[in-house]
Amino acid sequence: MSHLSQRPADPVVGRALPHESAALHVTGAALYTDDLVGRTAAVLHAHPVQSPHAHARVTDLRIAAALEVPGVVRVLTGADVPGVNDAGVRHDEPLFPTEVMFHGHAVCWVLGETLEAARLGAAAVEVDYEPLPSIITVREAIEAQSFQGAQPVMVRGDVEAGFARAAHVFSGEIEFAGQEHFYLETHASIAQVDENGQIFIQSSTQHPSETQEIVAHVLGVPSHAVTVQCLRMGGGFGGKEMQPHGFAAIAALGATLTGRPVRLRLSRTQDLTMTGKRHGFHASWRVGFADDGRIEALDATLTSDGGWSLDLSEPVLARALCHVDNAYWIPEVRVHGRIAKTHKTSQTAFRGFGGPQGMLVIEDLLSRCAPRLGLDPGDLRRRNFYAAGQATPYGQVVRHPERMEVTWQAVLDGADIASRQAEVAEFNRTHEDVKRGLALTPVKFGISFNLTAFNQAGALVHVYKDGSVLINHGGTEMGQGLHTKMLQVAATTLGLPLERIRLAPTRTDKVPNTSATAASSGADLNGGAVKDACEQITERLAQVAAARLGVPAESIHFHDGMARSSHPLEGADSAGTRSISWEDLVVAAYFDRVQLFAAGYYRTEGLHWDSAIFQGSPFKYFAYGAAAAEVEVDGFTGAYRTRRVDIVHDVGDSLSPLIDIGQIEGGFVQGAGWLTLEDLRWDESDRASRGRLATQAASTYKLPSFSEMPEDFRVSLLEHAHEEGVVYGSKAVGEPPLMLAFSVREALREAAAAFGPAGTSVHLASPATPEAVYWAIEQARSGGDTTVLEEASARDGDVVDGREPDGARRDGAPARLPLASPSHGIPSDVERGTYPADARVRR
């Protein structure tokens, strides 16, 4: 067992403790960025002037009228930027644009004594626009060949040979929507400038170091002139990894120019219309199966909706490709990726970071193909699980694949799946207008940043003369419990009670060059750094204790506020050891002039990645999980309820079980929201409002609530799951549970299919809103999914789905499969069963 993963006896890690700020959260005493406004004198407020066009050229900007509005202090424009007029790491996001790229794009900002004054000033700004053609949907981008960034290809083996040996070849498409982060706290920054010109920014950011860098280059100053602090966030989910930088830069620019603190906090509508979301995707695929249902080959093209700029779209796409296999061995693979450039908000990181989108492609096609293969979807999934020695399509050997099988079996046994499947079948036989569905789905999710350089972290630990301890680390707290885990790691390593340790807010002048708190790696990276810093201190203190006790330093260990020697000597205490209290030892060390602080550092070992050939081992390990969901669907409306969910998830040896279970529950519910409820709608018409986000509030954008929670929700952690080479044997928990929600979507598909004859396959739009479920039910009643075609039968000259196999159009062009826009849940004529679909023939 490695030193990093080994736990001492009776550690503080592993104890079921509440979140360190739980009492502050529930009493309203917890401070967030915008709460500091009332504690700051002479604050100015910022308000944007937003474009009413999806794509237009700014031909004139007149601010004189705004300056006449009482309370308006200044209008910030591009002419005020002393450094670089750009807020993106790819230099493709002008802070003050001359060409607006989405409906709601800010062209300038007004500073006022009050927010109302700033709002009225923004309304008085006069802007002339020259409207330009816009691209709103992914399909429009594909047709226009509007792409941006890299177009990676992941290849393994001979795909055509795999199709040649396959007994069944299917092809189809899927398009699915993005997701709004809808964190409780919207984007917020407060900037101040001191007498020396030093800029201090309080920001709700997951990446303080990058916020610091962007602000510095906008202002034209070195990074050491900018300090960014993140107290805590009221949710982030990836939406505050890249997006806060521009807002912080506006506040910092305003503070620099006026000499007064500037507060920028977006309203909910502004946050929804100005910031990025989860990437929606379109995917076309072709898959081959052997007679026994084993996958032989997969050929797919994934197109993400990147919005108007790159942001994090390239790494999101890379992770989508890396997770298109999910938990399944696919011997021959070819997957193309590309990023659509559309005139919408710049889509960004969101919990899972492309992984859920890649997994959805394989999970959807398995469920659509299983009935055509005569197999239960769960059986089809299980027989394709990875086995020992097999590697992913990008070349990384899958470590501990047996955990997927163990986790799957634990759900089967613990949830009594066999008997419940029989109960569901009996219920469906005796109920004509209400049906139930029960589905199991797996998760295999890689943990680490794809970009190897990001897999490092730092920490600073201070021990004061009274024995109290202060910790700084590079991770940010957004409610996920990272600080709680870091306190437990420090307490375990130092051998102290938790009450002796305090954790300070994340600041760039304490720990520099930090990576974003993202990729589910916060505890792995920062935990390793905190442990390293604490061990440097205990190594020094062990020397002091050894000298005081007259024992070898290597015999000293720290536990429960004492330094004890395992070396038996005369004068030992009742436990048979010599000891000294932590407080006495610290004082002794001070007078011996022993350093009582340390900077810790950690880098994840064993990682390598070549993005040019899309090969390597980008992940430290894989997290596994399995979920079973049971739903009940109304055949008249498509309305449904989730009756029961059973989850078994692998978090290694948990650092903090209560935190981990909470993350699993929350991730699952957020995933269910993406897949079944949250329906982003942009105006796709040719009216002046084209490109406007129609779902601008909680009244039009439906979020999961208590009524959507499973009536019976059972979560357990996989036992005997120690992960070697990770801090105290733990595993990440932030992102993987979100994908357990695939079980709900597939259960809805099973229930909808039950309205048709046995063996019916249905296409289910995503999000699977009641409307979408209703149309899936109508498919089942009308003969099932006609958008997935079995090419092997067509090749042999057989009739496919009641149609002739020749799918070529009269003009000789290959047929295009009709497909509804799943983001709207409205079926095409084919899905309604009204008109026959063309068949696509394998050449």
Residues assigned a catalytic role: 735
Q: Provide the H-helix boundaries in 578-728.
A: 582-591, 657-676
Instruction: Report cis status (omega within 30 of 0) of the bond before 767.
Output: yes
DSSP conformation letters of 217-266 = HHHT--GGGEEEEE---S--TTTTSSTHHHHHHHHHHHHHHHSS-EEEE-
The helices-and-strands tally (H runs, E runs) of the chain is: 21, 31
DSSP conformation letters of 66-130 = HHTSTTEEEEE-GGG-SS-S--STTS---SS-SEE-STT-EEEEEEESSHHHHHHHHHH-EEEEE
Q: Which two tokens stand for residue 764?
A: 């289910």
Q: State the burial class of residue 425 (Cβ atoms within 10 Å of its Cβ: 0-12, 13-18, 19+).
A: middle
**Spatial distance between the Cα atoms of 281 and 141, rounded to a whole number of angstroms:** 12
Asked if 102 and 308 touch (Cβ cutoff 8 Å), the reply is yes
Q: Which two tokens stand for residue 600?
A: 């810790």
DSSP label of 436: E
End-to-end CA, the chain: 54
DSSP conformation letters of 311-376 = TTHHHHHHHHHHTTTTTB--SEEEEEEEEE--SS------TTTTHHHHHHHHHHHHHHHHHHHT--
C-alpha to C-alpha distances, 489 to 486, 526, 800, nearest whole angstrom: 5, 10, 60
Which amino acid, residue 698?
A
Q: What torsion do the CA atoms of 112, 118, 121, 126 make, to the nearest 10 degrees?
A: 120
C-alpha to C-alpha distances, 577 to 537, 539, 546, 547, 560, nearest whole angstrom: 22, 19, 12, 15, 14
**Spatial distance between the Cα atoms of 396 and 448, rounded to a whole number of angstroms:** 13
Asked if 237 and 275 touch (Cβ cutoff 8 Å), the reply is no
* Helix then strand then coil, % of the chain, to nearest 5: 30, 25, 45
Buried-exposed string 251-264: b where 16+ CB fall within 10 A, e elsewhere = bbbbbbbbebbbbb
Asked if 803 and 157 touch (Cβ cutoff 8 Å), the reply is no
Stretch (H or E) spanning 717: strand 712-717
